[in-house]
């Protein structure tokens, strides 16, 4: 596996691949890799001739009081995992590489408000502006043919698809289903913060979302009741709830009676750790 830290190092590798007519897939990450990330790398290998994984903990998407400083950084372990996953290039840019003029004086991208100001965006103001800013920079630097993202961050996936559409990037966005642990908890770098008791409570997030998705299928005209019941169950499990919402899958708008594809999404706190998850559902 080759490595690049600077724009020039990255571009040198990419030029050689382009001269050989090879297609490229990008897997953007913040590191602390787990099986969910490796599933993205595996999917990328099926999509293109060469796979680039980026590791960069982006300060622009962390709000005041969030866990930027304590976000786990495990580069040596991440490198070993990517080698075993047959990643072709690891791009680990510095802040100078990503924000040459400094973060405070940087050109920013603003996410589409209809997607960015609800649910996660309402609870984390400015978060998605930071996401699209760094993703746009990665797309500009790497110019991949395809970029691979996980469905666990479903709202982020839609925000990035809108970014690609609005700014005319010639990159295809591929989505990979959420990877879960044996008890159904969605894999996340933040799971390592959970102690045994908090992890037991966190397992209820997937259980409750599955139940809510089934209820949507059985009674699609009673969505507010489904949301309230799911919130109550999560709170009974000892979780603090930021939101539980059933939304239209394509744009996260509140669904109408004839919308065929929905998602039930939630964000909760188990102890001091914030977790998100979602499940697809189809009313019948």
Write out pLDDT tens, residues 44-82.
999 999 999 999 999 889 887 787 888 889 999 999 999
User: 194 and 276 in one domain?
Assistant: yes
Residue 34 belongs to a domain = yes
Amino acid 69: pLDDT: 85
Q: Which pLDDT score, from 0 to 100, does residue 259 have? A: 84
Residue 155: the pLDDT is 98
Final residue belonging to a domain, choices 115, 142, 176: 176
Domain boundary among 109, 143, 176: 176
Range in 49-58, 100-109, 168-177 with the lowest mean pLDDT: 100-109
Instruction: Kindly state whether residue 111 falls inside one of the protein's structural domains.
Output: yes
As a whole number, the mean pLDDT across the chain is: 95
Residues 95 and 208 occupy one common structural domain: no
Joined tokens for residue 270? 């188990």
Calpha distance 176→151 (Å, rounded): 6
Q: Which is higher by pLDDT, 69 or 39?
A: 39
Indicate whether 171 and 118 sit together in one domain.
yes
Is 69 within the bounds of a domain? yes
Q: In this structure, is residue 198 part of a structural domain?
A: yes
- 15 pLDDT above the threshold of 80: yes
Domain boundary among 121, 151, 176: 176
pTM, to two decimals: 0.94
What is the CATH number for 215? 3.30.1300.10
pLDDT at 9 over 70: yes
Helix (H, G, I), strand (E, B) or coil at 261: coil
Residue 157: its H or E element: helix 154-167
Residue-wise pLDDT for 113-170, tens only, equals: 999 999 999 999 999 999 999 999 999 999 999 999 999 999 999 999 999 999 999 9
Radius of gyration of the chain (CA): 19
Is 127 a residue of the active site? no
Q: Are residues 203 and 170 in contact, defined by beta-carbon separation less than 8 angstroms?
A: no
How far apart are the C-alpha atoms of 152 and 187, rounded to whole Å? 9
pLDDT at res. 128? 97
**Same domain for 136 and 48:** yes
Q: Is the pLDDT of residue 284 over 70?
A: no
Question: Is there a domain that residue 184 lies in?
Answer: no
> What percentage of the chain has pLDDT greater than the value 90?
87
pLDDT tens, 197-240? Answer: 999 999 999 999 999 999 988 766 688 999 999 999 999 999 99
202 and 171 in a common domain: no
Whole-number Å distance between alpha carbons of 245 and 268: 12
> What CATH number does the domain containing 162 carry?
3.40.50.620
Q: Are residues 7 and 130 in the same domain?
A: yes
- Residue of 37, 127, 203, 222 marked catalytic: 37
Q: What's the confidence (pLDDT) of residue 220?
A: 62
Residue span of the structural domain in which 102 resides: 2-176
Residues 62 and 6 in one domain: yes
Contact (Cβ atoms closer than 8 angstroms) between residue 74 and residue 32: yes
- One domain for residues 195 and 225: yes
Check if the beta carbon of residue 90 is closer than 8 Å to that of residue 50: no
263 domain-assigned:
yes
Residue-level pLDDT at 57: 92
Residues 74 and 161 in one domain: yes
Q: What is the mean pLDDT of residues 251-255?
A: 94
């Amino acid at each position: 596996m080759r490595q690049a830290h600077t724009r020039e190092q990255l571009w040198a590798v990419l030029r050689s691949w382009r001269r050989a007519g090879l297609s490229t897939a990008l897997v953007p990450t913040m590191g602390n890799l787990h099986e969910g990330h490796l599933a993205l790398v595996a999917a990328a290998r099926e999509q293109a001739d060469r796979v680039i994984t980026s590791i960069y903990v982006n300060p622009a998407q962390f709000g005041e009081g969030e866990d930027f400083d304590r976000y786990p950084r495990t580069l040596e372990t991440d490198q070993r995992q990517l080698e075993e996953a047959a990643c072709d290039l690891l791009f680990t840019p510095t802040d100078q590489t990503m924000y040459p003029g400094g973060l405070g004086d940087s050109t920013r991208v603003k996410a589409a408000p209809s997607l960015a100001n609800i649910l996660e965006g309402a609870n984390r103001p400015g978060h998605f502006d930071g996401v699209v800013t760094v993703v746009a920079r990665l797309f500009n630097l790497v110019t991949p043919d395809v970029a691979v993202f996980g469905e666990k961050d479903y709202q982020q996936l839609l925000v990035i698809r809108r970014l690609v559409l609005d700014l005319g990037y010639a990159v295809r966005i591929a989505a990979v289903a959420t990877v879960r642990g044996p008890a159904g908890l969605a894999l996340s770098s933040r799971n390592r913060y959970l102690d045994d008791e908090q992890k037991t409570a966190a397992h209820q997030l997937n259980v409750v979302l599955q139940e809510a998705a089934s209820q949507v299928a059985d009674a699609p005209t009673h969505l507010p009741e489904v949301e309230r019941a799911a919130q109550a169950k999560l709170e009974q499990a000892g979780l603090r709830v930021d939101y539980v919402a059933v939304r239209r899958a394509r744009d996260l708008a509140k669904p109408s009676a004839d919308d065929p594809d929905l998602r039930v999404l939630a964000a909760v706190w188990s102890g001091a750790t914030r977790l998100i998850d979602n499940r697809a559902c189809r009313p019948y």
